[in-house]
Amino acid sequence: MVASCYEEFSGEDAAGPAGRLEAMWRVLGKKGLAREGIIQNGLLAPVTCNLLNPDKTVTVEKSFALLRELSLSLREKYLK
């Protein structure tokens, strides 16, 4: 399981998680949850399996850099 998660993450950029988050927000919006509330109160965190990997700190550092990029991108798009 760890290798699979590691391999999946190694090719990821901020656009992938952003698209998946926005898709979830649309589903939640259809169920009555306001996107603005989710965005204002949401918290981004790395997936735990990204912190257990064969390359030690490289993936951990990439994970947090990706979170930073994702956060900045979403803030710019939704919190203007």
If one counts the domains in the chain, the total is 1
Name the band, by pLDDT with cuts 50, 70 and 90, for residue 1.
very low
Instruction: Give me the pLDDT at residue 23, please.
Output: 97
Domain that holds residue 60: 2-78
Total count of residues recorded for the chain: 80
- pTM, 2 dp: 0.78
Whole-number Å distance between alpha carbons of 54 and 33: 39
